[in-house]
Amino acid sequence: MELEVRHLRVLTAIADHGSLHKAARELGMAQPSMSTQLRRIEQALGGQLFTRERTGCRPTPLGRVVLSRARPLVADMLALVTESRAAAARAGGPQLRIGSTASVALPAWLRRLRTSETAGEPTLQMDVSGNSLLRMVAACQIDIAFVHEVEGTTMLNLPGGLAVRELIAREPQFLSLSADHPATAKSVVELSDFAEDRWMVDPTVDGEWDGLSRVLREARLDPPLLHGDYMTAAQLVAIGEVVTVIQPTAQARPGTAIRRIAGDPIGVRLLLAARTEEDLDAVYGHLEEAYWEAAWQAPEYRALLEAEDAERSGGGDGDGDGGRDVGKAFPAAKAKAARPPDRASAP
């Protein structure tokens, strides 16, 4: 076997993390594949590069020698690829390459970016994996990544050197259920209301399976968990076959209903990542406005935000802004300010 840069990346990742599992996750590989790759590398170099101990993987003397040469090569290759891609992007005209996991805010965000003087023409790449998108930003394949991190999981890995800005520290996730489900009689549902229902989750989305499984275990529930993408889930929800977790900014489709879960046990953090703070400055405000526009148009989420704002403002009317700048206002005030002009008179 002839050594390539990808093999050197495997070695540096194992050394950096001290763990085959963590290194495999960083590089988007399965752990068995990484173990096989390591064995082939060791065979090609003629000796063991790491010792496997209870506390993790440690470089052998041979491993330290190889790593001392491998690290500069990996860094130089990354710099070459990054600079070349940046130059190619500049030569091709001002484009803003956006990558995102699924979000209801995307259409309004893209609309704002297209009319902005501070951002190039946006292109969009969707991916179920936030980790994949973050690696693409670091490798200069896209400019911006809008991703989510599921609460209670350790699935999101931020590559070094990225600028990151938090859009929402904790966004509660709601539940999508059939419109004729008995639980629709409640405005806020309990997890136990669905102990006998089939749940559907997309296991390819970073952290989704682990996050939902954790919440159900803590509630001492063990319902059937089906695998499926969320388009399929939406269709099955409408005919009463499953229930599924849904973003609070979503609006109910025909035959479905959306309800808040008591105690908001499922949450995600929404993050925006780029290579520089300047790149974030150019797009963050547009994303924030787009998110609150979507929140205003989602009845269940809007009701929650207004109730929380009324409580924070001491029992006020729910606007909670008092004439303040939208960026400093309570969430419902941000949502109200971001609503489309043609809906300004909506109740």
Residues 187 and 246 grouped into a single domain: yes
For the chain, residues with pLDDT lower than 50 are 316-330, 341-347
Residues 142 and 184 grouped into a single domain: no
Residue 312 in domain: yes
Counting the structural domains of the chain, the total is 4
Residue 149 in domain: yes
Is the whole model's pTM more than 0.75, yes or no? Answer: no
User: Which residue range forms the structural domain that includes residue 248?
Assistant: 174-265
Q: Alpha-carbon torsion 280, 282, 284, 285, what sign?
A: positive
Residues 221 and 346 grouped into a single domain: no
Q: Alpha-carbon torsion 85, 88, 94, 96, what sign?
A: negative
Write down which residue in 89, 110, 137 finishes a domain.
89
**Residue 346: predicted pLDDT:** 40
Considering only the C-alpha atoms of the chain, give the largest distance between any 2 of them, rounded to a whole number of Å. Answer: 74
Per-residue model confidence as pLDDT tens digits over 115-168? 877 666 888 999 988 988 999 999 989 999 999 999 988 668 888 889 999 999
**Residue 313: predicted pLDDT:** 74
Please report, for the domain that includes residue 210, its CATH number: 3.40.190.10
CA distance 94 to 262: 46
Residues 144 and 201 grouped into a single domain: no
198 closest CA partner among 177, 173, 171, 167: 177
**Residue 324: predicted pLDDT:** 27
Residue 344 in domain: yes
Phi/psi at 127 (5° precision): -155, 140
- The tokens of 78 are what? 């990354």
CA distance 74 to 92: 27
Residue 284 in domain: no
**Residue 201: predicted pLDDT:** 93
Residues 136 and 274 grouped into a single domain: yes
Residue 133 in domain: yes
Residue 187 in domain: yes
Residue 289 in domain: no
Residues 106 and 189 grouped into a single domain: no
Please report, for the domain that includes residue 38, its CATH number: 1.10.10.10
Write down which residue in 215, 242, 265 finishes a domain.
265
**Residue 32: predicted pLDDT:** 86
**Residue 327: predicted pLDDT:** 36
Distances (CA, A) of 223 to 17, 33, 113, 158, 176: 36, 32, 43, 33, 16
**Residue 120: predicted pLDDT:** 67
Residues 179 and 260 grouped into a single domain: yes
Residues 120 and 201 grouped into a single domain: no
